[in-house]
């Protein structure tokens, strides 16, 4: 399979409320920075653009159309959009490059989750006849998943708190993180439960922001003369929507995606996992068989800031940063969608 290079990644700060800023105003500064990073003028300098967003976050149909207003799309450009996390927009862009219709692509994701009540909004992802009318929110579903794991003795609350403490600590080195700090595990465990057995700290913050990545052929990266990392594999798999049919303590589709992406073909120095809830990081780490040689979520992960529709893309970008800075030689980035890790994408990134 043709190797594809990542040459740029930028993310806005994760903030709990982006104020009066609208979508185009959220996106433009991030795009400006990623163009500058690669030395491009604007979207006219790439062959394809693909974005990921969700109308329901801000509560207006065609919210993504505003994204086009940030691109300088005159003359017209080759552009597409997925109503998914932008990690899947990157997947679509890779197909375009592999089929020879583009040498380079800009991918961006954006989300303004603050205007609505995100966990309740996302309840409308569920089966519209049986589940959505019950308004089961995403936190409650994750709480049930955590309860299964606790009751089966697969994890302890201390394990979960350790994930949170490490996330907050790692996030001290991430200037865009929303939540960071030195917190002792016991301090976390002393907090009240929020949606039992989850504490607030086990749940991701609601964040506004955007992120952007530029990918291209290796030849193009060399021509541009910029540092790059190589995407050596990518795959994604979905599993049943019927939660009762799934083993919620495992993530079969993550394992399938990792296999398809060729994760096992080399060492995994670093893993950026899109685990919105602390116990889900443990599920993913185990499903992927990651051991002590793998550093998990050096960015702090999404427990430190969760840009819905961009967090999956940001995981790939964070991995790019680790590899181009020389901190790691090879790693994986993971993205997820749907309740209780229903749909998962794994990208393998290596040093050039």
Partner 1 sequence: MANLAAVVGIGQTKYTTKRGDVSIAGLVREAAANALEDAGLGWDDIEAVIIGKAPDMFEGVIMPEIYLTDALGCNGKPMLRVHTAGSVGGSTALVAASHVQSGTFKRVLTVAFEKQSESNAMWALSTPQPFSVHLNAGAGGYFAPIIREYMRRSEAPYDVGIKVAVKDRLHGARNPLAHLQKPDITLQEVEESFMLWDPLRFLEACPSSDGACAMVIASEDLAEQSPKPPAWIRGVAMRSEPTMYAGREEVSPQAGRDCAADVYQQAGITDPRRDLDCAEVYVPFSWYEPMWLENLGFAAEGEGWKLTMEGATSLDEGGDIPWNPSGGVLCSNPIGASGMIRFAEAARQVRGDAGAHQVEGAKLALGHAYGGGAQFFSMWVVGSEKS
Partner 2 sequence: MSEEREMITGIEAPIYLQYKFTAGSAPARFLSQVKKGVLTGQRCPGCQNVYCPPRGSCAACGLPTEEEVVLSDKATVQSFTIVAIPIPNNPIQPPYIIANLVPDGSNISFIHLMSECVNEEVHIGQRVQALWKPEEEWDYAMDNIRYFKPIDEPDVPVDRIGTMPVTGWEG
Q: At what angle do helices 311-324 and 86-98 cross, to 10 degrees?
A: 70
End-to-end CA distance of the chain: 16
Q: Which two tokens stand for residue 315?
A: 């995981």
Whether 216 contacts 7, CB under 8 Å = yes
Residues in the chain: 352
Residue 81 touches partner 1, criterion: CB under 8 A: yes
Burial class (CB in 10 A: 0-12, 13-18, 19+), 292: exposed
DSSP state of 15: B
The CA-atom distances, in angstroms, between 65 and each of 39, 50, 51, 52, 276 are 26, 12, 10, 11, 27
Selected from 59, 181, 225, 289, the binder of partner 2 by CB under 8 A is: 59
Asked if residue 185 lies in contact with residue 162, where contact means CB atoms within 8 angstroms, the answer is yes
Residue 88 in the binding site for partner 1 (CB under 8 A) = yes
One residue of 55, 151, 186, 223 binding partner 1 per CB under 8 A:
55
Q: Toward partner 2, which CB reaches closer, 120 or 222?
A: 120
Residue 244, binding choice from partner 2, partner 1, none, Cβ under 5 to 8 Å by partner class: none
User: From the CB of 94, what's the least distance to partner 1, in Å?
Assistant: 8
Q: Which of 114, 87, 52, 134 is nearest to 343 (CA)?
A: 87
Q: Which of residues 161-200 bind partner 2 (CB under 8 A)?
A: none
Contact set for partner 2, span 109-148 (CB under 8 A):
114-117, 120-121, 124, 128-129, 132-133
Q: Which residue has the tokens 């599993």?
A: 239
Count of residues in contact with partner 2, rule CB under 8 A: 33
Q: How far is the CB of 232 from partner 2 (least distance, A)?
A: 32
**DSSP letter (8 states) at residue 28:** H
Told to check if 225 binds partner 2 by CB under 8 A, we report no
Least separation in angstroms between residue 23's CB and partner 2 is: 8
Considering only the C-alpha atoms of the chain, give the largest distance between any 2 of them, rounded to a whole number of Å. Answer: 59
List 24, 154, 185, 243, residue binding partner 2 (CB under 8 A): 24
Per CB under 8 A, the segment of 163-171, 209-217, 250-258, 292-300 that binds partner 1 is 250-258
DSSP summary character for residue 3:
-
Partner touching 342 among partner 2, partner 1, none, CB below 5 to 8 Å by kind:
partner 1
Helix (H) or strand (E) holding 148: helix 138-151
Residues 92-131 interacting with partner 1 (rule: CB under 8 A): 92, 94-96, 98-101, 121-122, 124-129
Residues that bind partner 1 in the complex, under the rule CB under 8 A: 1, 49, 54-56, 59-62, 64-65, 68-69, 71, 73-84, 88, 91-92, 94-96, 98-101, 121-122, 124-129, 132, 235-242, 252-253, 256, 337-339, 342-343
Residues that bind partner 2 in the complex, under the rule CB under 8 A: 19-25, 28, 31, 42-43, 56, 58-59, 66, 68-74, 114-117, 120-121, 124, 128-129, 132-133
């Amino acid at each position: 399979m043709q190797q594809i290079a990542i040459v740029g990644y930028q993310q806005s700060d994760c903030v709990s409320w982006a104020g009066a800023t609208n979508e185009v105003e959220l996106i433009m500064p991030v795009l400006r920075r990623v163009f500058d990073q690669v030395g491009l003028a604007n979207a006219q300098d790439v062959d394809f653009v693909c974005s990921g967003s969700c109308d329901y976050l801000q509560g207006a149909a065609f919210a993504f159309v505003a994204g086009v207003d940030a691109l300088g799309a005159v003359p017209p450009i080759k552009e597409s959009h997925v109503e998914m996390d932008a990690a899947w927009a990157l997947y679509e862009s890779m197909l375009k490059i592999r089929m020879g219709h583009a040498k380079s692509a800009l991918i961006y994701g954006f989300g303004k989750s603050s205007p609505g009540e995100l966990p309740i909004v996302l309840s409308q992802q569920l089966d519209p006849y049986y589940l959505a009318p019950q308004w089961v929110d995403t936190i409650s579903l994750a709480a049930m998943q955590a309860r299964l794991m606790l009751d089966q003795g697969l994890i302890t609350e201390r394990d979960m708190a350790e994930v949170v403490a490490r996330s907050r600590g790692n996030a001290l080195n991430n200037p865009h993180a929303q939540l960071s700090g030195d917190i002792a595990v016991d301090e976390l465990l002393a907090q009240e439960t929020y949606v039992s057995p989850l504490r607030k700290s086990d749940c991701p913050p609601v964040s506004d922001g955007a992120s952007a990545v530029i990918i291209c052929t290796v030849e193009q990266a060399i021509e541009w003369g910029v540092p790059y990392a190589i995407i050596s594999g990518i795959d994604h798999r979905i599993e049943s929507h019927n939660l009762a049919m799934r083993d919620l303590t495992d993530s079969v589709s993550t394992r399938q995606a990792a296999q398809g992406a060729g994760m096992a073909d080399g060492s995994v120095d670093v893993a950026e996992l899109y685990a919105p809830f602390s116990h889900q990081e443990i599920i993913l780490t185990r499903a992927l068989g990651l051991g002590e040689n793998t550093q998990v979520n050096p960015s702090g992960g999404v427990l430190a800031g969760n840009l819905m529709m961009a967090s999956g893309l940001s995981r790939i970008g964070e991995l790019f940063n680790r590899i181009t800075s020389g901190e790691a030689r090879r790693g994986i980035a993971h993205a997820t969608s749907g309740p209780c890790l229903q749909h998962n994408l794994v990208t393998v990134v290596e040093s050039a």
